[in-house]
Amino acid sequence: MKELKRRILEWFDHRTGMETAIRDFLYEDIPASSGWHQVFGSVAVFLFLVQAFTGILLAFNYAPTPGDAYNSLKYIITEVAGGSLIHGLHHWGASMMIVVVVLHMTQVFLFGAYKKPREATWMVGVLLLLLTLAFGLTGYLLPWDNRAYWGTVVTTQIGSNVPVVGSYLARFLGTSGSVGVVTFARFYGLHVLILPPLISLLIVFHIYLVRKHGVAPTPGDAGPAKKFFPEQMLKDAVAMFAAFVVLYLMSIFVEVPLGRLADPTDLSFIPRPDWYFLFLFQTLKFFKGSLEPIGTVLLPTIAVLALFMTPFFDRVKVARLTQRTTALAVVVLAGAGWGALTFAALRSTPPEQEQATETAPSPSEEWSHFSPQELAGLGYFRQEKCLACHNLLSGPAKVGPNLATAHIHKDAGWMIKHFKNPNQMVPGSNMPPILLSDAKLNALAAFLLKLTAENADTISSVPEDIPRGAQIYLEQSCGECHTVNGVGAKLGPPLNGVGMRRSQDWIAKHFANPAAMSPGSIMPSANFSRAEMQAIISYLESLPAS
């Protein structure tokens, strides 16, 4: 049996080289000074694998289009088994990965492990840091909530103002006009198609360089070399387990922020980037007007170049950590500066209004969830004085049947034919033909199909302005760009809950001059009479938040 096993392993190793590669990897010599301070690289790779795995699981239920992305994410969090946990692992894992990568680079910097012959290893590490931040930047938009939308608006506007290449960058990211469907597609493509294979290749190359040149020993390390397995591998495994425990607990007990659906009309929302970009956001406050490129381009570029070229600036002999006073001073000053700027940005952030808006009370009546066509049909029902011959539910007996129950055996096609020629569909009927367009007759039929014994009484109390506003909404073809109660297109922002976010005055001004209230808007202005304006505003204010 042992001989058979040996022959199988020899055959497998001869064909693939896997056994030899694994043996060489596990039993590589490392300095005697290696220890806990060198676990950050392994933890960073582990966290990347967690991000890749949870990202794949999220993709099974995620809809990569604006609007649908938000709803699919809510579905993942509330309906999919384990969805909230997977979402939490992915969200908090992104932040933890950035923290660990920064700690890893700090450790390498403090110990001078970037010196000859490890310059390329350090430079690849800088590229990996930038790609990790790019993951955070592109992933920030994907929930498509208000925080993500407006944070991306600010970020892309900064990028578009970069001298020379700003306009090309805006075109590449699809933000030449505004943040919309094209922007979302570009960010999603970068996040799931371009960055993962790119960072994977760099991680493999980085590990290859580490193995090629070996782990940097501590100066004065005269002890005998030891094997990577089992001692250092055990330390790495313990560190990875500890990182996962922290990540798991955060995913369970710390709620992932998800605001309301992105609203490009919500100019009152004060955008903020994610925490790891807050220092840069705060730095921009010192450079305004013509000086803005200094904060947006010059300083970040200098910082990245300084990191990248560190091995060539610091060419003195490697010294013990206690003797690297300049390196220690740089780390302390950089940490203090980052902390101060981040703290200042947090202090200047106004109280979060997102949750209060999301949970604000909304109309509870069933009719508030009707589609625009169904609610417009109520207006035509009243306009044609159908109540003269029919009851909605209760009341003195009338010539026609009770409509809350009579329609259940008839479909929309039958109803429309009946509206046009009642006597043909119901011989002996004395009901006059309804002289409305087909679109209005469709709306009337849609309303009657929505009518039930349970909602008939509340429908009777709907204010006159609201069905009239729904009619104006349809007449203006608003549904070609907006959704209401899930019905309509998604070129513009959904209108549910707009009355809770906007005043009547703001809505009226927006109808009169959309571009003035929402820069970049392609919505045409509307010349409403005073009564029409009041009606459509009343209708919009009646829409529930979701």
Using 50, 70 and 90 to split pLDDT, how confident is the model at 358?
A: very low
pLDDT digits (tens, 9 = 90+) for 292-341: 788 878 888 899 999 999 999 888 887 787 788 899 999 999 999 999 99
Query: Domain spanning 32-260+271-350: which superfamily?
Result: Cytochrome Bc1 Complex; Chain C (1.20.810.10)
Which of 285, 35, 45, 243 lies closest to 158, judged by CA?
A: 285
What does CATH list as the number for 366-542? 1.10.760
Distance CA(305)–CA(312), nearest Å, equals 11
What is the mean pLDDT of the segment spanning 525-540? 89
Q: Which helix H or strand E contains 3, and what residues bound it? A: helix 2-16
Residue 297 to residue 290: CA distance in whole angstroms: 12
Task: Please enumerate in sequence order all residues whose Cβ is within 8 A of that of 293, keeping only pairs 6 or more positions apart, or say none.
Answer: 161, 162, 163, 287
Q: What integer pLDDT is reported at residue 340 of this predicted model?
A: 93
What are the structural domain ranges in the chain? Answer: 32-260+271-350, 366-542
Least trusted range by pLDDT, from 69-78, 209-218, 258-267? 258-267
Task: Extract the runs of DSSP E, i.e. beta strands, from 57-201.
Answer: none
Specify whether the CB–CB gap between 199 and 125 falls below 8 A. no
In the chain the first and final C-alpha atoms are separated, in Å, by 67
Residue 355 has pLDDT above 50, yes or no: no
Encode pLDDT of 405-416 as tens digits: 655 567 888 888
Beta strands 487-488 and 226-227, pairing class: unpaired
> Could you identify the residue written with the tokens 């159908």?
386
CB of 481 within 8 A of CB of 492? Answer: yes
Q: Give CA–CA dist 282/373, Å, rounded.
A: 48
Per-residue pLDDT band at 44 (split at 50, 70, 90): very high
- Write out pLDDT tens, residues 131-152: 999 999 999 999 988 889 888 8
Collapsing DSSP states into helix, strand and coil, what is residue 30? strand
Decide if 276 contacts 95 (C-beta within 8 A). Answer: yes
Nearest to 295 by CA among 437, 161, 117, 99: 161
